[in-house]
Amino acid sequence: MQEARDVSQVIITGLPGAGKEHVLNSLTESTVVEGISISPARGSPFRIMRFEDIQIRMIKAPVAEGEDRGLLLKDTRACADLVIIIIDLSREPLSQVRSSLQGLVGCGVEPKARAFGEIAFGQRSQSILIVGNKDDVAGANNNWYILHSQYAMHFPMIAISAREGRGMADLKKVIYELVGVIRIYLKDMSSDVAQDKPLMLRKGTTVKELFQSMHKRDLCPRLNYAIIWNPDRCAGQRAGKKHVLQDKDVVEFHLF
């Protein structure tokens, strides 16, 4: 059953010197939040990336030997919706990707990709985004071409410069698209206005699954249908229990 939640969670990783901290600073608020944990075991600090009207938790996790790579990744892998690998475009890129992927696999994270022979996959499939950082430096264009030619068929990719702020808005949009969630706004029958704060649901969630995630089991059989509004698609459309919800749907439940 799908569960409604407040935020999605993303891990940023990569080798030393790739610019993980610069990327994180450019994406998020500068304050490190410690009160709520992405990791149920350790209470790891994270930062908040805002995209339109939602928040996405971002946490930096090293993968290199000597950086305690497994400590954080093993704790957070089950909670993360996406892993971002930061690549330094001022240096040879292919070995950076290989080392990062091998580090993930060593922590039991299986990158979601089409056929990829060299990597011995782990146990948990995980969405991956490769981010080429420092695309403003000499040699970056050639290294991006090499990187893109080798890995674009396997993983989504984007080039940025965290230092110059170039590509950061596009990166935020790509992150939101890849975490695999939609925003749903609830509306009560007695009100003309939907709630301001959206619920975050997995793509593919149905009306029935949303209702089940919010109510006790004995109330679920009373669900009859929903009325749905969407600024891009419809206004007051009646939808059955199996109707698949879309991003930005406003949902009003009707019971027997």
- Helix (H) or strand (E) segment spanning residue 174: helix 168-178
Query: DSSP states of 70-120 as a string?
Result: HHHHHHHTTT-SEEEEEEETTS--HHHHHHHHHHHHHTTEEE--S--TTS-
Q: Note whether 20 and 53 are same-domain residues.
A: yes
3 lies in some domain = no
Question: Could you tell me if 133 and 247 lie in one domain?
Answer: no
Predicted local distance difference test score (pLDDT) of residue 30 = 57
pLDDT at 5: 56
Residues 165, 235, single domain; the answer is no
Structural domain including 233 reads 182-255
Domain match, 16 and 113 both: yes
Residue 1 lies in a domain: no
Domain containing residue 228: CATH number: 3.10.20.30
Predicted TM-score (pTM) above 0.85: no
Q: Residue 82 corresponds to which tokens in the numbers above?
A: 């996406």
Instruction: Report how far residue 35's alpha carbon sits from residue 31's, in angstroms, rounded to the nearest whole number.
Output: 12
Distance separating the N- and C-terminal Cα atoms of the chain: 22
- The residue ranges of the chain whose pLDDT is under 50 are 1, 34-43, 116-123
Q: What was the pLDDT predicted at 121?
A: 42
Q: What is the largest CA-CA distance in the chain?
A: 66
Please state whether beta strands 128-133 and 82-88 pair in parallel, antiparallel, or not at all (unpaired).
parallel
Question: pLDDT (tens digit, 9 = 90+) per residue, 90-147?
Answer: 999 999 999 999 888 877 777 887 554 444 444 457 889 999 999 999 999 999 999 9
Could you tell me which of 182, 250, 239, 176 has the C-alpha nearest to residue 207? 239
